[in-house]
A and B are shown apart, each in its own frame.
Chain A
Amino acid sequence: MLQFVNTLLTGLGQGAVYAAFALALVLIWRSTRVVNFAQGAMAAFTTYLALLVVESTGSWWVGLLVALASGLVLGAGVERVVVRRVGPHNELGAVIVTLGLFVALQALASILFGAQFRSFPAPAGLEGFSRGGVTIALTPSMLITVGAVAVVLLGLVALFRFTDVGLRMRASAFDGEVARLLGVPVGRMLTLGWALAALVGSLAGVLIAGGSLVWPAYMDTVIVNGFVAAVLGGLDSPGGAVVGGLAMGVILALVTGYVGSDLVPLAALAVLVAVLLVRPQGLFARTAARRV
């Protein structure tokens, strides 16, 4: 029983990070119909910047802020300089461009920061809370991870639901031509959307690195799991991305705990295949919203 509870807790903690990463993919998909395969490499890049700051200042929190801020800038820059040139209604072009960015950023990270493993400090303790000799797999670091994801998610919901910038971003995502006619600077809204998505991706990058190792390709498994989570939730649905992320975390933790960690990548792909076969629109997508 205790093992099951611990497996669940571990899975939910990991799932919060997948949720953030999936949400970053969904934000970009909704606004520009691009699956950003470079999301992981972008997050790895900003995590390296955070690591430099953490090592020189000794503060994990300052590192996190630097990662989020550089994520904003990097996301905006990628949209403005690279993605916008691909033009609308060019899905294949966008896929190739983001794959190219993925390779280029990963290579650049190797050149700038070195290809060796480096350890990234944890935000807080990695010891599970214990009472009466029983230790559960809930750690202070995990609480910070889940808390940070929750704060960012609620912030995004508030932005989209309750501000006029959010309304204009949603309008731009639904129909850019009409939004333009109504006076919305759609280009700026798309830049902002990419910036926010990269911020969320950077958050996932730092959280997954905390208490663990980073190397230029350390986000690769997160990309796969986060993408499966996004598809599981329906690529169009932010709420679905969160639920899908948590579900992926729990599923993979159960596989690790009861079957073997070797099978985790296989399990992730099995979930992807199952979703695409059984419910290709995802759990939460409104099918009507997917017809353009």
Chain B
Amino acid sequence: MTAPPADHAADRGPSAAGDAVLFAVDDVSVRFGGLVALDRVSLAVPPRGVHGVIGPNGAGKTTLFNVCCGFVRPDSGALRWHGAPVRRLRPHQLAGMGIARTLQGVGLFRGLTVAENVMVGADRHRRAGFLSGLLALRRSDRDERALRERALAALDELGAAHHADQLPGSLPYPVQKRVALARALVAEPELLLLDEPASGLGGDEMDELGALLRELAGRMAVVLVEHHMDLVMSVCDRITVLDFGKVVAEGPPDAVRDDPAVVAAYLGEEAHR
């Protein structure tokens, strides 16, 4: 553990270290035709910790992620990264800034080996540019070897290094999910967006995931969309609850759990205001 003490403090209490906001979603609205998918949603993510986003199906969680990673442009509102506004950025540029995202399911490249899959994720740290990769093959070759080493290290961290040269389709689902996570982590992102990382996992694997998320929270910001409430309540520092595209509650797990608006959202009663 090389984390300085300040990081440790931030680990459990982001509000205590609340002077810094790594990533902020300010008043973002997204409409698809007549449907309001997000209605003035705000979110402030500190540099360390796990921030949960929960809500019933169709509440706008995935749309929120799509805004965060650049797939969907908000109709109004803004994103801020290290305090500076983020404008009109393409997904690959956001990834280059240090935002990584996993997809629902696994989203691995079927025709690439496990190691190659992770090497694509390590892209952010490549030195050789577009043309030098093409023309100066030697320098690119050195990068390629460095990429592979970094990919293997990331796989090793998630206990999947021995599958490096297999195709993902031949592996059990939980292993594929770990490979997808390694691919997101190999770029050493500052912000990790996890879309239902626990889906399809058994109880033991879920516990391992929870421990891993707490460990990651000590060195990066994690935003977690997840349906498994036990996991969410046990690993999150703060939780934002969405319902019909609006934030209906925000706070630490214990406060959110007992919030009448949250109970109403999940039980389908008329929301309190």
| In contact, B141 and A162 (Cβ under 8 angstroms) | yes
Q: Which residues of B contact A280 (CB under 8 A)?
A: none
Q: Is A218 an interface residue (CB 8 A)?
A: no
Task: Report the minimal beta-carbon distance from B249 to chain A, rounded to whole angstroms.
Answer: 29
Residue from A164, A182, A183 within 8 A of B147 (CB atoms): A164
Among A148-179, those with CB < 8 Å from B are: 158-159, 162-165, 167-168, 170-171, 174-175, 177-179
Chain B interface size, as a band, is 35 or more
Task: Report the minimal beta-carbon distance from B33 to chain A, rounded to whole angstroms.
Answer: 19
| In contact, B109 and A183 (Cβ under 8 angstroms) | no
Query: Interface readout for B111-126 with A: 1 if CB under 8 Å, 0 if not?
Result: 1100011011101101
Query: Interface readout for A85-104 with B: 1 if CB under 8 Å, 0 if not?
Result: 00000000000000000000
| In contact, B92 and A168 (Cβ under 8 angstroms) | no
Q: Is A81 an interface residue (CB 8 A)?
A: no
Q: Which residues of A contact B95 (CB under 8 A)?
A: 180-183
Q: Is A188 an interface residue (CB 8 A)?
A: yes
Q: Which residues of A contact B107 (CB under 8 A)?
A: 175, 178
| In contact, B112 and A171 (Cβ under 8 angstroms) | yes
| In contact, A181 and B103 (Cβ under 8 angstroms) | yes
| In contact, B116 and A167 (Cβ under 8 angstroms) | yes
Q: Is B169 an interface residue (CB 8 A)?
A: yes
| In contact, B141 and A183 (Cβ under 8 angstroms) | no
Number of interface residues of A (CB under 8 A): 27
Q: Is B140 an interface residue (CB 8 A)?
A: yes
| In contact, A180 and B119 (Cβ under 8 angstroms) | no
Q: Which residues of A contact B13 (CB under 8 A)?
A: none
Please report the C-alpha to C-alpha distance between residue A285 and residue B22 in the assembled complex, in whole angstroms.
47
Q: Is B61 an interface residue (CB 8 A)?
A: no
With A162-B141, A164-B143 as contacts: A181 and B128 at CB distance below 8 Å? no
Residue from B109, B111, B140, B144 within 8 A of A178 (CB atoms): B109
| In contact, A163 and B141 (Cβ under 8 angstroms) | yes
Q: Which residues of A contact B141 (CB under 8 A)?
A: 162-163
| In contact, B187 and A174 (Cβ under 8 angstroms) | no
Residue of B nearest to A170 (CB): B112
Please report the C-alpha to C-alpha distance between residue A288 and residue B169 in the assembled complex, in whole angstroms.
10
With A164-B144, A182-B120 as contacts: A174 and B103 at CB distance below 8 Å? no
Most buried by A among B71, B140, B183: B140
| In contact, A184 and B120 (Cβ under 8 angstroms) | yes
What does DSSP make chain B's interface, helix, strand, loop or mixed?
A: helix
Q: Is A185 an interface residue (CB 8 A)?
A: yes
Q: Is A198 an interface residue (CB 8 A)?
A: no
Please report the C-alpha to C-alpha distance between residue A182 and residue B187 in the assembled complex, in whole angstroms.
8
Residue of B nearest to A286 (CB): B111
Task: Report the minimal beta-carbon distance from B96 to chain A, rounded to whole angstroms.
Answer: 5
With A163-B137, A165-B133 as contacts: A182 and B123 at CB distance below 8 Å? yes
Residue of A nearest to B96 (CB): A183
Residue from A168, A175, A286 within 8 A of B123 (CB atoms): A168
Residue from A167, A185, A288 within 8 A of B119 (CB atoms): A167
Q: Which residues of B contact A20 (CB under 8 A)?
A: none
Q: Which residues of A contact B100 (CB under 8 A)?
A: 181-182
Most buried by B among A168, A171, A183, A289: A183
Please report the C-alpha to C-alpha distance between residue A133 and residue B163 in the assembled complex, in whole angstroms.
60
Pairs across A and B, CB under 8 Å, 6 listed: A164-B133, A165-B134, A174-B110, A182-B123, A286-B111, A288-B169
Q: Which residues of B contact A (CB under 8 A)?
A: 69, 71, 90-92, 95-96, 100-101, 103, 107-112, 116-117, 119-121, 123-124, 126, 128, 130, 133-134, 137, 140-141, 143-144, 147, 169, 183, 187
Which are the 10 A-B pairs with shortest beta-carbon distances? Answer: A183-B95, A165-B133, A180-B91, A174-B109, A171-B120, A183-B123, A182-B121, A178-B107, A183-B96, A185-B92
